[in-house]
Chain A
Amino acid sequence: MNITVCIKRVPDTETRIRIEGTEIDTNGVKFVMSPYDEFAVEAALRVTESLGEGEVTVLTFGDDSSQETLRAALAMGAHRAVLLKGAVSMDGLATAKTLVPELETMDAPLVLFGVKSADDDQQQVGPMVATLMDRACVTAVSAFEVGEGGVRCQREVDGGTETVEVRTPAVLSITKGAFEPRYASLKGIMAAKRKPLEEKEAQAAPSRLQIEQMDYPPERPEGRVVGEGPEAVDELVRLLREEAKAL
């Protein structure tokens, strides 16, 4: 079974963010594959490896620098990569509409997404793509099994877990769980250089979410150490009740 994984290049989560106008200054910022997308790539590789057939394609919509992210996925073991070149916005529906025509040309009964991107964190592109393609979609999947004509998924919901079954073709968005990503081996990194990476101009849909302003999170008021050890508890509770009105 062929699987396509949609991945995104994002700033490393350790990175300090410097704001310039309505963007971040990318000078000196290290970029990585979004962590949940790594889980999704890992999941796809495990399925094709255990079935002993099928190819994993990684797809991204981004600028030239996203080649690096695609190569990282190829080094993990993905078979081929497609870059849709264009300017990405925060409008996940615009991103979904840009990805769908490409996904429609692919023979992939399973399309995987990360549950959320580490930069925009909109948690929407996966289910939007599924809706546009009229496919079944399970979000926040922490583990899944591919069976005859369908997929059985474990998913996280508020207050518990669910087991959900869907028929393929299907779209899954992957959360943290069973798919701890592998490190690329040296052999994998060498092999990735020769794997096919196709570049196309994206037919990007216009964004309808305009960033008017970007700023740093409000400073939290200066905190204070109430005291040391259990003796400080009474004062803490008093402050929580009278000052913070949190109890």
Chain B
Amino acid sequence: MGDILAFAEQHEGSIRSGSYEVVSAAAQVAAGLGGATHALLLGSPGLSGAAGRLGAYGADVIRVAEHEALASYSPEVYAATVADAVREGGYTAVVFAATSQGKDLAPRVAALLDVPLASDVTGIGTDGGGVTARRPVYAGKAFVRLAIDATPAILSIRPNVFGASERAAAGTIESFTPDVTEPKSRVVERKAAEGASVDVAEASIVVSGGRGMRDPENWNLLEDLREALGPEAALGASRAVVDAGWRPHGEQVGQTGKTVAPKLYIAVGISGAIQHLAGMRTSQTIVAVNKDPDAPIFGVADYGIVGDAFEVLPRLTEAIKVLKHGG
């Protein structure tokens, strides 16, 4: 019986917070199938100093591939390095995060290893010694359970669904210098989205605005709420406001935007069209603020306020501030 591998992401030398969840999910698979949990981290020399915390989330062994060429994500170079590490480690399963990096990387690794990939999974089963994956299809209108008929089983998990669980143990760090391949692409520029510290697809709280916000100028009300909720919160948007040019497409939630599953999703002035629901219906708790009591968004919302966003938002922001900072 082989071990289970979690691919951990780093950004500028710090481990991305979603990686702890991937390690915890891998540890859960290891608990079902047997074997130890390994984490694999790629980056520049010296990165192993930042790797220790992965142990606290379930990694027994933390393998750190250190090389200048791995400092930032480079598709072919990363894919070849990960595929080599998987072959060498003889893993039973490999878990990625379905982040933009994971979605780019996992299919390439799967193709190099000649095994299928179950993407964006929301549940993993290990009954009977094999790996099954539960995942949404038809834009979340149905779910399938897939039996993965290959070793290693490769999965990417939807952020925020599995959760990271801490334990009182540390992992062993093993750093190594891999042979690297030539990149086939060159990043000439990187631009961070304004204001956001965390992407909407990975945030644990999402504050989303729709056409009911009336004007892009009014986004300061949503921005205030986001800020009050803290650094784990991000802004989202409906397609209507992205198409109108009020917000960047990177914020769009839904069928032709991002799929999110935060702990808390707050939809303000969003009607709740089926294509929007496709992107957020697996959120843990959904709040809707809409002036139309018949808006379909109330059909999926756990808590709704029927009312004018311009009256509700300032009060909500105030109440959150009081809650978080005592005023």
A interface list, Cβ under 8 A from B: 11, 13-14, 16-17, 19, 22, 24, 35-36, 90-94, 96, 118-128, 130-132, 135-140, 142, 152, 156-167, 175-177, 207-217, 220-221, 223-230, 232-234, 236-237, 239-241, 244, 246-247
Could you give 11 example pairs across A and B, Cβ below 8 Å?
A: A22-B144, A123-B120, A127-B107, A157-B100, A160-B190, A165-B185, A214-B143, A223-B303, A228-B306, A230-B314, A241-B323
Per the bound structure, the CA–CA distance linking A163 and B189 in Å amounts to 5
Residues of B within 8 A of A24 (CB): 138, 142
- With contact pairs A17-B141, A123-B107, A137-B75 given, residues A230 and B149 touching in the complex (Cβ less than 8 Å): no
| Residue pair B111, A131 in contact (C-beta under 8 Å) | yes
Residues of A within 8 A of B196 (CB): 159
B67 lies within 8 A of chain A by Cβ: no
| Residue pair B149, A164 in contact (C-beta under 8 Å) | no
Residues of A within 8 A of B316 (CB): 233, 236-237
8 Å CB contact of B286 from A118, A175, A177, A220: A220
Interface-centre pick from B252, B256, B299 (highest chain A CB count, 10 A): B256
8 Å CB contact of A223 from B112, B249, B299: B299
| Residue pair A237, B185 in contact (C-beta under 8 Å) | no
8 Å CB contact of A240 from B101, B115, B303: B303
Per the 8 Å Cβ criterion, residues 139-186 of B in contact with A are 139-150, 184-186
Residues of B within 8 A of A160 (CB): 190-193, 250
Query: In the complex, what residue of chain A is closest to B230 when comparing beta carbons?
Result: A247
Per the bound structure, the CA–CA distance linking A93 and B113 in Å amounts to 11
Residues of B within 8 A of A118 (CB): 138-139, 255
8 Å CB contact of B305 from A126, A131, A229: A229
| Residue pair A93, B110 in contact (C-beta under 8 Å) | yes
| Residue pair A223, B304 in contact (C-beta under 8 Å) | yes
A118-B138, A130-B108, A236-B305 are known contacts; what are 13 more A-B pairs with Cβ within 8 Å? A122-B119, A127-B75, A128-B107, A131-B107, A208-B148, A212-B145, A217-B136, A217-B141, A223-B304, A237-B319, A241-B323, A246-B264, A246-B285
Which of B34-42, B53-61, B197-205 is near enough to bind chain A? B197-205
Per the bound structure, the CA–CA distance linking A136 and B182 in Å amounts to 11
B106 lies within 8 A of chain A by Cβ: yes
8 Å CB contact of B308 from A229, A233, A244, A247: A229
Q: How many A-B residue pairs have CB under 8 A?
A: 263
Per the bound structure, the CA–CA distance linking A228 and B288 in Å amounts to 12
Interface size on B, residues (CB 8 A): 90
Query: In the complex, what residue of chain B is closest to A96 when comparing beta carbons?
Result: B111
Per the bound structure, the CA–CA distance linking A123 and B252 in Å amounts to 17
Per the 8 Å Cβ criterion, residues 230-274 of B in contact with A are 249-250, 252, 255-257, 263-264, 274
Residues of A within 8 A of B184 (CB): 135-137, 166-167
List of 8 A-B pairs having minimum Cβ-Cβ separation, nearest first: A131-B111, A124-B107, A136-B184, A158-B199, A229-B307, A163-B189, A230-B315, A213-B145
| Residue pair B285, A93 in contact (C-beta under 8 Å) | no
CB distance from A160 to the nearest CB of B (A): 4
Query: In the complex, what residue of chain A is closest to B324 when comparing beta carbons?
Result: A247
CB distance from A200 to the nearest CB of B (A): 23
| Residue pair B249, A228 in contact (C-beta under 8 Å) | no
Query: In the complex, what residue of chain A is closest to B16 when comparing beta carbons?
Result: A158
0 or 1 for each of B269-297: is its CB under 8 Å from A? (1 = yes) = 00000110010011011110000010000
| Residue pair A244, B285 in contact (C-beta under 8 Å) | yes
Per the bound structure, the CA–CA distance linking A57 and B287 in Å amounts to 46
CB distance from B293 to the nearest CB of A (A): 7
| Residue pair B144, A230 in contact (C-beta under 8 Å) | no
| Residue pair B139, A209 in contact (C-beta under 8 Å) | no
| Residue pair B101, A246 in contact (C-beta under 8 Å) | no
| Residue pair B305, A233 in contact (C-beta under 8 Å) | yes
B104 lies within 8 A of chain A by Cβ: yes
Per the bound structure, the CA–CA distance linking A28 and B256 in Å amounts to 24
| Residue pair A246, B300 in contact (C-beta under 8 Å) | no
Residues of A within 8 A of B132 (CB): 212
| Residue pair B106, A124 in contact (C-beta under 8 Å) | yes
| Residue pair A124, B117 in contact (C-beta under 8 Å) | yes
Residues of A within 8 A of B144 (CB): 22, 90, 211-214
8 Å CB contact of A163 from B75, B104, B188: B188
B1 lies within 8 A of chain A by Cβ: no
Per the bound structure, the CA–CA distance linking A228 and B120 in Å amounts to 37
| Residue pair B145, A165 in contact (C-beta under 8 Å) | no
- With contact pairs A158-B100, A212-B146, A214-B142 given, residues A225 and B115 touching in the complex (Cβ less than 8 Å): no
| Residue pair B263, A246 in contact (C-beta under 8 Å) | yes
| Residue pair B190, A165 in contact (C-beta under 8 Å) | no
| Residue pair A220, B189 in contact (C-beta under 8 Å) | no
